Structure 1
C-alpha cells in the first residue's frame, strides 16, 4: 500500500495529504494524492528493485535479482501489477539473454527482441485506456514515446524481415531509459508508505464512524446498566471521561428517560443505517468489526457471574442480537468469535469473552431450531394454524404464539437469546459434521465449550449417543492438548507421540461406566473386551483390527499406518 501523486477518478482511491515524509520524499508535500494497493510491501522494497535495475553499480546479477522480485510482484497482483513494471521486465529479460555467453544465435536474438518490443508496447498501451478509438501513433505521442518505436513494433509484428540486431539493441536501451524517466524515477521521487489499516473507501468512512460510535455508546450503556445505573444521574458514579461524555450526549440528544431506553434506541439507529446505506459493500464486515471493539462487552463475564446478572444481560442484549440475525450479520460474527478463540496470540481475556458469547449465540440458534421443529409438527397436523405476526421493525416484542412455542419447546427465555419470531421461513442455522471435526485437533479451553454447544446444530442430526460421544471426545482431546502444553513447558526434549491407543485409554479412563453402542444392535463393548481381529464401534468411531501390515493402535493420531 502506498501513496502516489497521480490523479484518480475511481472512488476506491482515498485522496490523502501527507505532511510527514522522509528526506527523499520532501518534494511530494502538498501534492494531491491517491492510495494504491501495490505489489511491493513498502517503498523500501520498491527502492531496492530500482537500485538493482538502475543503480550506479547495477550488474547482470543485480538485474537478475530484480527480475526475480518482479515475478513475485506479478504473482501478488497478477493483472493489477503496474504495466510499466511488466514492460521493464520483458526488455531487461531479453537484454540479459543477449549478453549470455553465445547462448543464442543472432537470428534467435532478433526474434526475442521482436517479441519483447511487441509485448512492451502492448503493456504501455494498456495504460492509455479510453472509450475512443486511437491509433498507436496517438498512444505513443500521449505516452511520450518516439514514433520510431511504433514503426519498429509494426515491422516486428508484421514484417517479413526483422530489423538488424544492433537496431533492436539500441531501441531496447531507449525503451529502458524511457521507462526509467516515465515511471521508475517518478514513482521513487513521490511514493510514500501509508498504513493500510487506516485506508477506507470514501463512501464507507463516515458509515464506519457512525457504526463504531453507536457500538461504543452501547458498550458504555451496558457497563452502566450492569453496575446498577438507571439514569444519567446514577451513571456518573460508574462511568467517567470519554465514555461517560459520549453516552451523556447521546442520552440528551435522543431525550431518553432511562438508561434502559438507550439500548432500544441504539439498535433502532443501527437498523436505520443498514436500510439507508444498502449500497455499501462489506456491510457485515463493518458491523462485526465494530462489534468486536466493544471492550466491556467481552470482559463482563469475569465480574458479573451471578444468575441475576446473567438474566439482566440477556434481557438487554436481546434486541441487538436479533437485529444482527435479521440483517444476516450474526453468522459472520459467530465465525469471527471462533477465530479469536483459536488465535493463540490473542489476549486471553478477549478469547474467553469470545468463547462466552459464541456459546450464547449457539444456544440461541438451538432454541430457534427446537421451535421450528415444533411449529412444523403442528403445521403438519393442522395446516390451518395461523401464522404468528412478525415485524423486523419491532425487535423487542415476542408474539404470544411464538412465546407458547418457546415454552413448550423447553426454552428458558430469560436465559436464552431469542433470534426468530417467524417460523415459516426456511432460514435456520446448521453446521456440517466436518466443521466440528476440523477443529477437534486444535481444541483448547476456549473452543471446547463452543464445539460442544454446536453439536445439536449438526446436520445430519446427531442422536443422543453420538452427541455424548462427541462431547466426551472433545473433553479428552482438550485434556490431551492441555497435558501436551504442560509437558512442552516442563521439558523441551519430550518426544511423546500420541496414538490411537492413547486416545482409547483416555476415553476408557474418562468414564468406565459409559456404554458404547454398536450401530442398531445395541451391543455393549468396552476397551477391555476387544477381541483380536474384531471390528469394534465406539459410537461414531470404528476401531479397525490390527493385521500383519497395519498396526492401527500404535499409529500416531492424524496419520495413517502406511505413511
Structure 2
C-alpha cells in the first residue's frame, strides 16, 4: 500500500462523512455520534489528535446535559471539563509548540482564544478549578474550533482506497517548487542582521509581494493576510511546517525535489545567491558562508523531518561524481554535503543522549532546549552559527552503514575530499581513527595528485621489453650425467638483455643453491651464521 494512505478506524468514507454530518448538524442526536466515536476508539486505541479531542469534549458535554438538574455533580463536571479542555489544548497545539513556540504563541498562530489556554493553565497550576459556566463556554468554543480546523479541512481528503487503482495526486511540481522557494524566502527574512519580525518590515517590495502570493497560494485560509503588521515570520513558518507536508503527497516526491533543488534554476546551487552573501569563504577557505547556509536551514530541516534529506544527499553526491557538472557546481555540491552531514552529526549526538531519557523528557524538549543541552553535553562546541536540522530526528540508517556508503567512498571523484570526513563520522559503529585517516588521505591523493608527486630515476620495465629480445637465447643442457657440457651464451658473445640482465658464470654450482635464493644470498646467510 502506498505510504500516502493509512489504515483508519472508520469502516469506509461513508461512515466518516456520517460522523462529520452529525457533528456539524446542531439538531442531530449527539449520543449516537458519541457511540460511533467510542466504536472508533475500540477499533484503534490511538486515535488522531482531532478525533481524540472531539471525543473527550463531546463526552463531558453530553454527560453535562444528562445531569443538568443535579447540583451535587458540579465538582465532577468541572473536573471532567477541565481535563477535556487540557487535553484539547495539549493535543492540538503540540505540533506548533514542538518547534519552540509557547502555548500562547501557538494559540495565536492556530486561532485558539487565549482564555482557553488560561483555562488549561488554571486546571494544571491553580488550587481551584475554573467556574463551570466558563468551562462550558470553553468546551463549546473548542468543539467549534475542531469543526473548522480539523473536520472541515480533513473532509476533502477522505476517500476509500482500493489496491491497484490509480488515484490523482494531491499537489504538483509547481506547488512543491513554490513551497521550497517560500521556505528559502522566509529563511532569508530570519537572518539576525535584518531583524525582520513581520511581513510589513520586509524592505524589498518585490520579495514581500512574492511571499504574500506564496502564502495565499499555499496556505490559503490558514493565515490572515489582511494586515501584514500582524503576520509574524515565525507564525508563517509554523503554519508552513504543518501544511507543507500535504504538498509532498505526489507520486515521486524525491524526484520532484531533486529536479527543483538540483536543476539549472536551483537556488541551492545558484552562483548569484552565493555571491550575494559573499564568496570569499567559498573561493579561498573551501567552506560556505554561515549567513548563506542559514537561508536554507528551515528548508533542509523540513526535508529531514519528512524523510527526503537522504535523496537530496545522494543527488548532490551524483553531481560531484559527474564530469558534466562543471567545477563550480561540483564544488558547491560537495561543500553543501559537508554542511548537511555535519548537521546530521549534531542530530546523531543528540539522539544518542536522548536514548537515555524517558519518553516524557524526550517529547517535552523544545528545539531551543536541545540546543542549550547540546552545548552542555559537549562543552566547547558552539552551535549558534551552525546548520541545524530536525533535532528530534536521527540520521538516515543508510548513512550509518559502511556497506551502503562503500560505493560512495570507492568511486573516483575529485571532490570527495570535501565531505568524506563528515561522511565517515556518521558510521555506526565508528571506524578506527587510523582507518578513517587512511581513507581521507587516499581521497586527497586521488583529488589532488599534483600535491603527491612521485620522484624516481629508475626505469620501469615490462614483459614487452623482454619479448623484444627473442633472438637472445640461453640454452641449458640438463644431461649432466652423460658428461655433456652446458652451453651458455657468454656476455661477450651476446648483448645484455635490456642492460639489466647478466649471465651467470660457469663456476657457480646451482645444485647447491637452495630453492628461492641466489648464490650471493647463500653466502650472506653463511656469514651471518658464523657471526652468530
Query: TM > 0.5 between the two?
Result: no
Larger Rg: 2
Larger strand proportion of the pair: 1
